Amino acid sequence: MNISRAFLIYRLSVLASASASIRGARRREAAGARIIGGREATDGRYPYAVSLQDSIGHFCGGSLIAPDVVLSAAHCMQTEGGYKVVINRHNLNSTEGEEIVVKTEMTHPGYDWGTTDNDFMILILEQPTTEDADLVRVSPGAVPVDTAVTVMGWGDTHVSDDIQSMPEELMETQVFVISNEECHQSNATIGGTIIDGLLVGGYDEDYHDQITENMMCARDTGEDSCQGDSGGPLVLRQSSGDVQVGVVSWGVSCAHEDFPGVYARVSAQYEWIRNHVCDGSSDPPASFDCKSLQKAEDLGVGGGWTTIINEDFTSNGFGLFDHHGNNGNHYTNAMERAGVVRIANGEGGRSVMQSNQIPLEDTMYTKFRVTFSFYAIGMEDSDDLCLNYEVDDGTISGQKCWSSIRAFENERWYDDMSFGFAAPNVQNMKILISIKGDDVVDEVLIDSVIIQGQA
């Protein structure tokens, strides 16, 4: 079943539970969300585990990674807004803990509804929590195969799709990391009935070509996460403080012997998470080292910059950005500027402008800075403008995003948008500017892109 369709069915209908689906909010009318084969967590053991709740109740999980920032899954996104994060509440039927309204949702710009790739979402809260709740550290490194990790949530505890047994308390279970290669091989027949030793009915499912580098898999016999646990943390328990390595994402069935749970791999998008925490939190944790990130953006201190590219979109149209697949239109003049490119009308609310490859074999640069001018049109509070760089065919990559609600306003030019990064011994580079919104009106104008290097 197509993943995005499974989500729509799950949220809007009363059909029987789909066996293959994302692990999103439980359907209110039927069973679906659960920690399988687990046990009640010790009250207060996972203070960073939070519940996302709307007017009906709990629909997804999340993790507190800063006093006012929650990490969850992109498929938990509620575009209508109006929901809250519940912190430090072990029993959801109690009134303990704190409820804080979500101010801003930011899904990963590379999130794909169809494949659930890059299933990450950052939530900025209206205010920092006043609870004495420990944060979970976000892992910048991949966790080894066979490592024991723990997942938690408030979902149904019965393995059957047709039986609902909802716990009031936070539940946990331990699973073990497997390789993406092993996960990719998963296949089996779902459903059916054994008659005279033969399987009759059912349908075939597999994970072939669905497990990306932004995902990781974990399993154990009879234990698993499932739909309503989505967005919740997969953690490596440590005496010095738990470390989050994954976000509950999707899977075929629940605790099926042939299908592991699939999680968004935190280390794959650590820099994106870090950037948003450093930009959006009023008190980012020291573990994100936001000061060094700011220094990276200010690499120009001391001078010595050499301009590599100065694209003004005048004489050669798209110039460096004359790349197939871009969502752009070129204008000789627009908004009192000569040579302007409009980025808009991309699929899924994401419009991009990617450069061609920039050769740098004979240079000695170890630091780079990208500066561009842009004009926002129709951007809303939840929209992001992002700059991605890819060095040496993806060997090094990174991203810087600016959220509309904090970084800029509509209908004015910004001439000093800048981002710096270190990358020694570079052979080639690509730059991508993207806008991530929720409708086709979201768009920007770009009238210059300058790339500089420093030895």
Residues forming the active site: 75, 119, 230
DSSP 349-381: GEEEEEPPPEE-TT----EEEEEEEEEEES--T
Beta partners for residue 363, in sequence order: none
For β-strands 243-252 and 137-138, DSSP reports them as parallel
3-state SS assignment for residue 40: strand
CB-based contacts of 375, cutoff 8 Å, min separation 6: 335, 337, 340, 411, 412, 413, 414, 444, 445, 447
Query: Which token pair is 14?
Result: 């009363």
Distance CA 70, CA 115 (A): 23
Residue 183 DSSP SS3: helix
CA 73, chain centre distance (Å): 6
Phi, psi of 163 (to 5 degrees): -120, 130
Q: Which amino acid is at 112?
A: D
DSSP 15: P
Compute how many other C-beta atoms are within 10 angstroms of the C-beta atom of residue 381.
12
Where in 108-196 does DSSP place strands (E)? 121-125, 137-138, 148-153, 171-178, 187-190, 193-195
DSSP string, 382-418: T-EEEEEEEETTTTEEEEEEEEHHHH--SSSEEEEEE
Burial-class residue 340 by CB neighbours within 10 Å (0-12, 13-18, 19+).
Answer: buried
* Cβ proximity of 170 and 39 under 8 Å: no
124: which strand partners? 69, 104
The first and second tokens of residue 320, run together, are 């460096």
User: What residues contact 301, with CB distance under 8 A and at least 6 apart?
Assistant: none
